Amino acid sequence: MAFLQEALDDSDVENCGKCRNCNPELLLSEEFDFDLANKAGQYLRRSYQKIRPKKQWPKTSMFRYYPFEGYRIPPELQASEGRALSLWGDAGWGQMVVEGKYVLGRFSNDLVHACVEMIKAWKPDPFPRWVTCIPSDNHPGLVPDFTERLADALGLPYVPCIQVYRKHRPQKGMENSYHQAKNLDGAFQITDEFRSGECLLIDDMIDSGWTLTVVSVLLRKAGCKAVYPLALAQNSPSVSFL
Ligand SMILES: [Zn+2]
């Protein structure tokens, strides 16, 4: 500040007393506390995100292929509350999720165990009886491979009963809620392998939440007692679920 004042020919130049030049003791310590960093990492690894079920569509009767009427999603067709293991790219599990998806092409067994621990803490009740996942065009084997290992670790059957029925554009490119939901109209169908007991529905990443919502409604319409969504990462901590 004094330098600037001088350069601008200020007649009344004083030291501020607040900066490092005026007082070297104000320097931040350069010591790095590994213990503290470890604790921060452990804290993040247990910071599970709640996935709250959506209760209404962006617009009334907006679907052409699906027989979803009206504006509200009736309670008997809604998903139950779910969990996301991390925030996309965070220093807990988030970086491992990004690496699995884009570098290794496989989600590690550490992530399987982390999800088992998360489910133990979460205690969905009644407990799911089978596990399924959202299919993806871009990385067709990625989520099914993970889901199979998770189901195995939980001692539950993996039932791949969700099929891509109509090709849809990537959800990422959709501008708003209306387009995100509309884009999924007719996108998936439930096959005969379907079971009626409570199910755990896996996806790698939750963004707007419409994919999990549409598939949950389809499963519940087919007769599934409860659908618990589980994602490896959530894109934003402030995803709004109305
Ligand atoms: Zn100063």
The full set of domains in the chain, from first to last, is: 49-234 (3.40.50)
> Out of 33-37, 167-171, 201-205, which region has the weakest mean confidence (pLDDT)?
167-171
Do the strands 130-133 and 49-51 form a parallel or antiparallel pair, or are they unpaired? unpaired
* The CA-based dihedral angle spanning residues 140, 80, 199, 131, taken in that order and rounded to the nearest 10 degrees: 40
pLDDT of residue 1: 84
User: Ligand 1 mean position to 17 CA, how many Å?
Assistant: 5
User: Ligand 1 mean position to 157 CA, how many Å?
Assistant: 66
More confident call, 120 vs 89: 120
Q: What is the pTM of this model?
A: 0.83
| Bond prior to 124 in cis (omega within 30° of 0) | no
* Order of all β-strands in the sheet with 130-133: 49-51, 82-87, 227-234, 199-206, 130-133
Confidence band for 215, pLDDT divided at 50, 70 and 90: very high
Query: What is the share, in percent, of the chain residues with pLDDT greater than 90?
Result: 68
User: Ligand 1 mean position to 5 CA, how many Å?
Assistant: 12
More confident call, 79 vs 174: 79
Mean per-residue pLDDT, 201-206: 96
pLDDT 10s digits, 72-91: 999 999 999 999 999 998 88
Report yes or no: 163 and 219 within 8 Å, Cβ to Cβ.
no
Mean per-residue pLDDT, 158-163: 96
pLDDT of residue 31: 85
Mean per-residue pLDDT, 202-216: 94
User: Ligand 1 mean position to 33 CA, how many Å?
Assistant: 29
pLDDT of residue 237: 56
Average pLDDT, the chain: 91
User: Ligand 1 mean position to 1 CA, how many Å?
Assistant: 7
pLDDT 10s digits, 2-60: 888 989 999 888 888 888 888 888 888 888 888 998 898 889 898 999 999 999 999 99
